[in-house]
Amino acid sequence: MQVSRRELMSLAAVGLGSMASLSRADETPQPARRRNRIGVSTYSFWHFRGEAVPIEHCFEQAAEMGFDGVEILHVHMEQAAKAAGTEVDRPLLRRLKRRAFSLGLDLMGFSTHQGFVTPDEAKRKQNVEHTAKCLELAYELGIPTIRVNTGRWGTSKNFDELMANKGIEPRLPGYTDEQGFDWVIRSFEALLPKAEELGVVMGLENHWGLGREATGVIKVIDALKSPWLQATLDTGNFLENMYEQMDALAPRAILVQAKTYFGGGEWYSLDVDYPRVAQILQKHNYRGYISLEMEGKEAPATAVPKSLELLRKAFG
């Protein structure tokens, strides 16, 4: 049987089409990159002024507004418990954990305060013990990371003066930054076994003092080379070259805190380009939480939802 030229061309076209279909079928589909989850720090509802808002109320507002998780400010929890005439004990922690779960919220961060920049060994030891206690509180709450600080020289009269000087303060007379870094490194070294035992990562924040700049935070992390000491990147604490510093710190970040300033900042306001921040974090494959710290003077009832909308657009 003879086959016409037209029939040959038709068969060839069918064959090529089948091969193309097989080729496309062999291609592995690329999954869409999951968006960053957005949480909110209880600090967004209380700025150290007046009576502390109950932590449970923060949970309820966070759930109603549509957040994925909550970061607890340790000082806030302590003050709220004191105002209610209770203590931060295991029953309270378990009630908080149960309440967050019932609202569909992750407890994803625990923001603590400590300082190791002092020649007083007893004070450093006291702060090590305080941080170990905070690690235990986070463990009890099921929180995987705590925000930690280097501490600062303490030569400013108060925090307002420190902020007026853009977080810069003179050293204690007779001491050097290198001595300060050594105190900080040795203190975190003492805490690493506890962090590993509990499975709670310490995230060193760019939070004034020796951690004011990314280089200071990285210096401490690199000295210890432990997965249990990483970075908490705060978008509102880099007052110079903010995007370059975020880019430097992003590869170490275990948590990102995102500041907003609706109504004007309590101490200052920054114009943070969050789509640009999102690009920086995506470049470094950061997949963790973005934790809102609304630091503006506008009422949280309106400023926090606006902040969430801003962050969803940037990180969605």
CATH number at residue 309: 3.20.20.150
Give domain status of residue 25, yes or no: no
Give me the pLDDT at residue 122, please: 98
pLDDT tens digits along 147-173? 999 999 999 988 889 888 888 999 999
Residue 200 parent element (H or E): none
CA distance 275 to 281: 10
* Domain of residue 153, residue span: 35-315
Give domain status of residue 242, yes or no: yes
- Count of the separate structural domains present in the chain: 1
Partners of 257 in the beta sheet?
Answer: 234, 291
Give domain status of residue 298, yes or no: yes
DSSP string over 165-181: TTT--PPPTT--HHHHH
Give domain status of residue 21, yes or no: no
With both helix axes pointing from N to C terminus, report the angle between 121-141 and 177-198 in degrees, rounded to the nearest 10: 30
Give domain status of residue 18, yes or no: no
Contact call for residues 35 and 287 (beta carbons, < 8 A): no
Residues of the chain with pLDDT under 50: 1, 3, 5-26
Give domain status of residue 216, yes or no: yes
Give me the pLDDT at residue 9, please: 45
Contacts of 306 by beta carbon, 8 Å cutoff, 6+ apart = 260, 262
Give domain status of residue 5, yes or no: no
Give domain status of residue 108, yes or no: yes
How many angstroms from the chain centroid is the CA of residue 234? 7
pTM score, whole prediction: 0.88
The b/e string for 98-134 (b: 16+ C-beta within 10 A; e otherwise) is ebbeeeebbbbbbbbbbbbbbeeeeebeebbeebbeb
